[in-house]
């Protein structure tokens, strides 16, 4: 099969049943101003290889949303393949058999994209497809990530609270070995599966016997409400990182952000906020423009410029301009609007 071109023999199938229990209507929950389902559709459409995007759903509402974002919904999935215990294999066998029976053609390769993983990169989809195309003896490719907790230190709890190690290393007591001496272990992250249709229809398997791993660096699969929130936070952090790739103008309010708040506007008593100053200096060193602004004296008419300038110098704040007012900028960081801890984490 030819590389670097869209091909109708490579089809993305996105399962999106309507009966989620952990999050009601999980697959169409809003995420970054779009239904969760839409992200997988748009990623598949951007792939340089995928020639067709099909959503397998049991819901007319879900099907309409899928079509709105550019996917095909040639069938509605029957209820017997849409329950809590329905398997991926049943879903894909149904889709492929429908295509064979009603269109007379079965694609060579299926790309399984779960709508519960909205933050995958299109380059990873294409990378996984390329891996299967370049390895004709492989049955499938599955995306994986390093595990955070090694199974070599896990146990089964039996009768009378007797512990039995889950797995061992060559008969050694793996649970007593340093982590560095244990085998590196990966887990599937439910982001991308690329599988030959023959593997599904002839071997009745979603993986087959020879499975290749495609290593990714993150795991954003959503099953519980808190994971949806975490994915939103990760997406916002990534948005900020992308913005920071170009030089930007940052405006930092002084009181309550760089300096502690003081009673009765006694600004000369303010103390430095060390974490904020570290952030400012990091942004300054990376080439961003730093403007400090303050409302000191706006109500009383008192001139606080000398005191403020002296404080900034004494506290080691690097900046380009100090303004008594509010200038134009790309980012405003004051004591009400911006989560400084998030900005600190992204910059670090």
Residue 83 — pLDDT band, cuts 50, 70, 90? confident
Per-residue pLDDT reduced to its tens digit, 32-60: 889 999 999 999 999 999 999 999 999 99
What the block records as the tokens of 8 is: 């109708």
Candidates 3.40.250.10, 3.90.550.10, 3.40.50.1360, 3.40.50.1000; correct CATH number of 246-347?
A: 3.40.50.1000
> What are the counts of helices (DSSP H) followed by strands (DSSP E) for the chain?
9, 14
- Topology of domain 7-146+186-220 in CATH is Spore Coat Polysaccharide Biosynthesis Protein SpsA; Chain A (3.90.550)
H helical segments located in the chain:
36-46, 60-68, 88-103, 122-133, 197-202, 225-244, 274-285, 305-314, 340-347
Per-residue pLDDT reduced to its tens digit, 245-265: 778 888 999 999 999 999 988
On the question of a common fold for 7-146+186-220 and 246-347, the answer reads: no
How far, in Å, CA of 224 to CA of 216, rounded? 21
**Domain regions of the chain by residue span:** 7-146+186-220, 148-184, 246-347
Contact 299, 306 (CB under 8 A): no
Burial class from Cβ neighbours inside 10 Å (0-12, 13-18, 19+) for residue 88 reads: middle
Per-residue pLDDT reduced to its tens digit, 56-82: 999 999 999 999 999 999 999 998 888
C-alpha dihedral sign at 71, 75, 81, 82: positive
Contact 67, 73 (CB under 8 A): yes
In terms of Cα–Cα distance, which of 53, 105, 97 is closest to 77? 97
Residue 5 — pLDDT band, cuts 50, 70, 90? confident
Residue 346 — pLDDT band, cuts 50, 70, 90? low
How much is the pLDDT for 94?
Answer: 97
Per-residue pLDDT reduced to its tens digit, 112-157: 999 999 999 999 999 999 999 999 999 999 999 999 899 999 999 9
Per-residue pLDDT reduced to its tens digit, 176-192: 988 888 999 999 999 99
Contact 28, 108 (CB under 8 A): no
Mean pLDDT value of segment 187-215: 97
How much is the pLDDT for 340?
Answer: 59
How much is the pLDDT for 1?
Answer: 62
User: CA separation (Å) from 280 to 237, 253, 271, 283, 290?
Assistant: 18, 11, 16, 5, 7
């Amino acid at each position: 099969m030819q590389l670097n071109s869209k091909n109708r023999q490579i089809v993305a199938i996105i399962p999106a049943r309507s009966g989620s229990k952990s999050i009601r209507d999980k697959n169409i929950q809003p995420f970054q101003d779009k239904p969760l389902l839409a992200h997988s559709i748009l990623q598949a459409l951007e792939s340089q290889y995928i020639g067709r995007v099909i959503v397998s759903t049991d819901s007319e509402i879900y099907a309409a949303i899928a079509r709105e974002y550019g996917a095909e919904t040639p069938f509605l999935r029957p209820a017997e393949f849409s329950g809590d215990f329905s398997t991926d294999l049943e879903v894909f066998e149904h889709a492929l058999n429908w295509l064979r029976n009603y269109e007379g053609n079965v694609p060579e390769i299926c790309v399984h994209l779960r709508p519960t993983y909205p933050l995958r990169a299109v380059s990873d989809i294409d990378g996984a497809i390329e891996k299967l195309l370049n390895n004709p003896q492989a049955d499938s490719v599955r995306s994986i990530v390093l595990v955070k907790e090694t199974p070599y230190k896990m146990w089964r709890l039996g009768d009378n609270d007797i512990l039995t190690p889950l797995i061992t290393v060559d008969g050694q007591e793996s649970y007593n070995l340093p982590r560095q001496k244990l085998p590196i272990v990966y887990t599937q992250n439910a982001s991308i599966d690329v599988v030959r249709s023959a593997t599904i229809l002839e071997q009745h398997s979603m993986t087959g016997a020879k499975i290749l791993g495609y290593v990714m660096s993150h795991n954003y699969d959503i099953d519980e409400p808190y994971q949806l929130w975490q994915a939103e936070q990760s997406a916002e952090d990534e948005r900020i990182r992308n913005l920071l790739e170009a030089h930007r103008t940052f405006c930092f309010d002084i009181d309550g952000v760089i300096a502690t708040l003081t009673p009765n506007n006694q600004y000369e008593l303010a103390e430095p906020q060390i974490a904020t100053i570290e952030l400012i200096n990091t942004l300054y060193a990376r080439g961003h423009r730093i403007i400090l602004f303050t409302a000191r004296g706006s109500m009383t008419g008192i001139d606080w410029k000398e005191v403020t300038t002296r404080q900034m110098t004494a506290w080691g704040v690097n900046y380009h301009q100090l303004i008594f007012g509010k200038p134009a900028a790309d980012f405003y960081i004051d004591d009400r609007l911006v989560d400084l801890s998030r900005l600190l984490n992204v910059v670090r």
